[in-house]
Amino acid sequence: MSLVLIQLLNGLQSGLLIFLAASGLTLVFGILGVINLSHGSFYMLGAYLALTFTGIFGDVFLALALGIPLAFLGGFLIEFLFIRHLYNRDHLQQVLLTFALILVFNEFQQVVWGSYPHSIPAPSYLADSVRLTEGLSYPVYRLALMAICLALALSMVLVIQKTRVGRLIRAAESNREMVEALGFDSRMIFRLVFAAGTALAATAGMLAAPIESAYPGVGDRVLIVSFVIVVIGGIGSIRGAFVGSLLIGLADAFGKVFIPQFSSIIIYALMALVLVVRPTGLFGRA
């Protein structure tokens, strides 16, 4: 019983965390129409930024305060240098360029941080475990992480639904020409969205660093799982990404316990199932 409860918490926690990365991916694909394979690299670089900044400031949350704006800036720059040339090209070229960016980022990581895994300490005030029931305790940091992810998810929905920028983003998604005809600079909207997507992936990486440490290729799994979530939830749908993330998180957590040999297959099986029932994802438009 306590095993079920633990895995339930673990599943929710990893689902909420991966939601940050997946929502960034679905935003970028839904609005810019760009398949961004380098999304996982931003997650990885986030984890390494957390390593460096935590080393300097001694606290992963201070690392976040500096890391998020930096990631936003980085995304802004990458959009300006590379991505903006891809909007009118076909998906193949996007796949190719962002794949090449993975090679570059991986090597950048090797040059700067080397190939050994590094662990990152959780803040000392959150390092304890809290007793939930008799014989069941759970690390406080993970609970805090869930709260932070939820807060970020909520604020993202608020920004998109309630603010002027959010309204522009939604408008640009449904009809880019019209937004331009109304006098808005859609290039700037795109750049902001890409930067936000990058920042979301990097934030996920930074938050996850004290749990899973920083190592080369840490972003690979995140990338693929995020894609699976985007497909399950429906392309461009934040709500879909949220439901998909929780589904995947829970399926993975319980799969690891009950069918360990096939646990890595279970998320793909889930995706296949969803596609058979709803070919455009749970919340996708036909």
Partner 1 sequence: MLARPNPSVVIFFLILLTGLVALPFVAGTYPIKLMTRIIILATFVLSLDLLIGITGLVSFGHGAFFGCGAYAVYFVSPESEAANAFVALGAGIALGGTAALVVGAFATLTRGFYFIMVTLAAGQMMFSLFHDTDIAKGSDGAFVNVKPELAFHGTSLLDFSDWHQFYYVCLFVLVAAYFSLFGLVRSPLGRVLQGIRANEVRMSALGYDTYRYKLAAFTVAGMLAGLAGALFASIDGFVTPELFNWHQSGLAIMMVVLGGAGTLYGPIIGAFAYALLEELLKSASIVGPLIADHWRLGTGMTLVLAVLMSPDGLAGFLNWKRPRAIRASSGGPQGENITIRAMHVSKALSTERLSKNFDGLRAISDISIRFAANRVHAIIGPNGAGKTTFINLLSGAIAANAGRVLIDNRDVTGWPAHRIARAGLGRSFQLTNIFSKFSVRENCALAAQSRKATMWRLLDSPYEAPEARAVDRALSVAGMAERGDLVAGEMSNGEQRQLEIAMLVASGADLLVLDEPLAGMGPEETQRVVALLRDLAHDHTIILIEHDMDAVFAVADTLTVLVQGELLAHGRPDEIRANQAVLDAYLGREAKAGAVA
Which listed range, 14-22, 29-37, 186-194, 247-255, lies at the site for partner 1 (CB under 8 A)? Answer: 29-37
- State the number of binding residues for partner 1 (CB under 8 A): 41
Q: Minimum distance from CB of 32 to partner 1 (Å)?
A: 13
In order of 128, 138, 148, the CA distances from 131 in angstroms are 10, 6, 20
DSSP label at 191?
A: H
265 binds partner 1 (CB under 8 A): yes
User: Applying CB under 8 A, which of residues 100, 158, 178, 182 lies at the interface with partner 1?
Assistant: 100
285 binds partner 1 (CB under 8 A): no
Specify the residue for token string 């889930």.
270
**Residues 203-242, interacting with partner 1 (CB under 8 A):** 224, 227-228, 230-231, 235
77 binds partner 1 (CB under 8 A): no
| CB closer to partner 1, 37 vs 209 | 37
161 binds partner 1 (CB under 8 A): no
Q: Minimum distance from CB of 271 to partner 1 (Å)?
A: 6
Tell me the C-alpha distance between 286 and 268, whole Å.
22
Tell me the C-alpha distance between 200 and 23, whole Å.
8
111 binds partner 1 (CB under 8 A): yes
Per-residue burial over 228-252, b if 16 or more Cβ lie within 10 Å, else e, is bbbbbbbbbbbebbbbbbbbbbbbb
Distance from chain centroid for Cα 100:
20
Q: What share of the chain is helix, strand, coil (3-state, %, to 5)?
A: 80, 5, 20
Tell me the C-alpha distance between 69 and 43, whole Å.
14
Which listed range, 54-62, 106-114, 120-128, 202-210, lies at the site for partner 1 (CB under 8 A)? Answer: 106-114
Count, residues in the chain: 286
SS3 of residue 151 by DSSP: helix
Listed residue (95, 61, 80, 103) closest to 209, CA to CA: 61
35 binds partner 1 (CB under 8 A): yes
User: Applying CB under 8 A, which of residues 5, 104, 127, 147 lies at the interface with partner 1?
Assistant: 104
| CB closer to partner 1, 44 vs 152 | 44
Which listed range, 64-72, 93-101, 144-152, 192-200, lies at the site for partner 1 (CB under 8 A)? Answer: 93-101
- Interface residues with partner 1 (CB under 8 A)? 29, 35, 37, 82, 85, 89, 91-93, 95-97, 99-104, 106-108, 110-111, 224, 227-228, 230-231, 235, 261-265, 268-269, 271-272, 275, 279-280
